[in-house]
Amino acid sequence: MTAMDDAPDLGGLFRSAGVTGFLHAVDVDTGAEVSCGGDEPVVLASVFKIALMVEFFRQADRGLLDPAERVTVMADRHTPGPTGVSAMADDVTASLRDLAYLMIAVSDNTAADTLVGRVGLGAVNAMLAGFGLARTWVEHDCAGLFASIVTDSGQQDMPTDPAVISRLRALDPARTNRSTPRETARLLAMIWRDEAASPGSCGWMRRLLGLQVWPHRLASGFPYDDVAVSGKTGTLPTLRNEAGVVEYPDGGRYAVAVFTRSYGTAQNQPRADAVIGTAARTAVEHLRSRLS
């Protein structure tokens, strides 16, 4: 059901925050949905780590890997990044599933690439195709993504120069990790319905997504003690994303995927972060108002 006439003005919300936004929200249990460019191709950035986590737990379900196996990540093999193992100075030994925790909760790039080394990007894409998520594709791991930015910009730091940003392949959905808001929301809804892997593994994935530390995007729209917000962020120059699930105290569960691209190139844009929460709340309220 589309019902465009009564749909909230999400585009206006995004514009007033200085971004172009794409959103898809779906009621996990009824399938009711609301969309704002939900079928547009979008750059996943770190949101691709959700798909990687799903395949990791599916391989654990099949006995292809042991999630409790301890691995040592050498200091000279760390992928750049501001958090987790990426930010640590020394060799780190942790279990695979604890690396999965760091990858989801703080978007640890080194943890993600270590899991890619075990799971394989081919397996992730095969899983996505098997689920019918034909427009979701993982092109490269974090190191590959970072290398493309360095090549295109000619610098190690994240660029803020508009001319440099405009030529980054990492910001072109056709040439980097990509999806659509609808497909990303669908993958999350499958995790919440125990369809993405075994119920036990889906429970683990929900726990990890619930440990998301960044409060300024999706969670900021739901500042309530009795509402649970789980999610995974994604950030690249001009891109601010978060996809997750919001659970209301009356049992309502809504998968929401929000992808934004700012007009400005500044790194710090609190309004752009906050509109992810505001738009998600507006979309969820819209879904809830249709129930009654």
Partner 1 sequence: MDLVKHLYYFTVVAEELHFGNAAARLGMAQPPLSQRIRRLEEELGVRLFDRSSRQVRLTGAGRAILAESREILTRVDRLRALAGRGEGAVLRVGVPPDLGSAVIAALIAGFEEADREVRLAPAEMWSADQAVALASGALDVGVLRHPITAPGLSFGPVLVQRPGVVLAASDPLAAVASVHLADLAGRRLVLFPGEPGLHEETLAECRRHGFVPEEVHEAQTLGLVMAGTAVAFGPRVELPGLRWRPLLGSPLTWRLSTAWRGEAGPAAAAFGAVAVRVLKEGAGMTDDGAAPVRQVRARPASGFLA
Q: Catalog residues that contact partner 1 under the rule CB under 8 A.
A: 105, 210-215, 219, 223-229, 247-250, 281-282, 285-286, 288-289, 292
Q: Phi, psi at residue 56, to the nearest 5°?
A: -55, -50
Sign of CA dihedral 227, 58, 184, 167: positive
The CB-of-225 to partner 1 minimum distance in angstroms stands at: 5
Pick from 192, 165, 162, 190: nearest CA to 252? 192
The CB-of-236 to partner 1 minimum distance in angstroms stands at: 22
The CB-of-246 to partner 1 minimum distance in angstroms stands at: 10
Q: 144 vs 210, which CB is nearer to partner 1?
A: 210
The CB-of-146 to partner 1 minimum distance in angstroms stands at: 26
Q: Phi, psi at residue 117, to the nearest 5°?
A: -60, -35
Q: How far apart are CA 192 and CA 158, in angstroms?
A: 34
Q: How far apart are CA 94 and CA 227, in angstroms?
A: 31
* Cα separations in angstroms, 114 against 69, 74, 144, 186, 237: 13, 11, 13, 26, 24
> Which H helix or E strand runs over 242?
strand 239-247
Per DSSP, 269 falls in state -
Q: How far apart are CA 111 and CA 92, in angstroms?
A: 10
Q: 53 vs 105, which CB is nearer to partner 1?
A: 105
Q: 3 vs 129, which CB is nearer to partner 1?
A: 3
Q: 11 vs 264, which CB is nearer to partner 1?
A: 11
Q: 131 vs 248, which CB is nearer to partner 1?
A: 248
The CB-of-127 to partner 1 minimum distance in angstroms stands at: 28
Q: 199 vs 223, which CB is nearer to partner 1?
A: 223
Q: Packing angle between helix 199-210 and helix 48-61, nearest 10 degrees? A: 150
The CB-of-169 to partner 1 minimum distance in angstroms stands at: 32
Q: How far apart are CA 67 and CA 2, in angstroms?
A: 42
Task: State the first-to-last Cα distance of the chain, in angstroms, to the nearest integer.
Answer: 16
Q: How far apart are CA 163 and CA 161, in angstroms?
A: 6
Q: Are 276 and 25 in contact, with CB atoms under 8 Å apart?
A: no
Q: 6 vs 90, which CB is nearer to partner 1?
A: 6
Q: 14 vs 137, which CB is nearer to partner 1?
A: 14
Q: Are 263 and 166 in contact, with CB atoms under 8 Å apart?
A: no
